[in-house]
Amino acid sequence: MPRELIGAPEGGALRFGIVVSRFNRSITAPLLAGALEALATHGVHDDDIVVAHVPGAFEIPFAAQALARSGRYQALVCLGAVVRGETPHFDYICGEVARGVGRVVAEYRIPAAFGVLTTDTIEQALARAGEGHGNKGYEAAVTAIEMAQLARLLG
């Protein structure tokens, strides 16, 4: 049988950095609440969580890089909401934030969960930021825990 490596969904004794953007706050506030709920449910202590607030999704990689560089966190959770408007801004922002977070992961070898919603409408975003398990912030935080644990197993 092959040896299988799966990160346990146990967050005790791990530290997490969350980056959340304010743009479309009606979406990002419930994403943050969902992420904090998931971390608490999986045993992460408040003292082991830092939340960095940035103006918009474009600024997420900057804060994520600073948190990664500190070496204090076992994983990051990036939360934002980019809603398609009438301008090409949407495509630029989505591309930059995804590439930027990916660069942080590669450069600092730290897992980062991508909880940045990219939707056509606010309604679509709201549907992904509701209560409980449909909340993408919650899902991103659970992903961060699993990946932090997997990183330990991978060494």
Residue with CB nearest ligand INI? Answer: 56
Q: Give the DSSP letter of residue 111.
A: -
43: left (phi over 0), alpha (psi -120 to 50) or beta: left
Integer Cα distance of 13 and 6 in angstroms: 18
The minimum distance between CB 66 and ligand INI, in angstroms, equals 16
The minimum distance between CB 96 and ligand INI, in angstroms, equals 9
Nearest to ligand INI of 14, 117 (CB atom): 117
Q: How far is CA 72 from CA 37, 97, 144, in A?
A: 21, 22, 15
Whether 89 is catalytic: yes
Nearest to ligand INI of 57, 147 (CB atom): 57
* Residues contributing to the site for ligand INI (CB under 6 A): 21, 23-24, 55-59, 80-83, 85, 89, 93
The minimum distance between CB 21 and ligand INI, in angstroms, equals 5
The catalytic position among 45, 53, 89, 133 is 89
Nearest to ligand INI of 9, 56 (CB atom): 56
Q: Is 44 exposed, middle or buried (0-12, 13-18, 19+ CB in 10 A)?
A: buried
Q: Which residues are catalytic?
A: 89
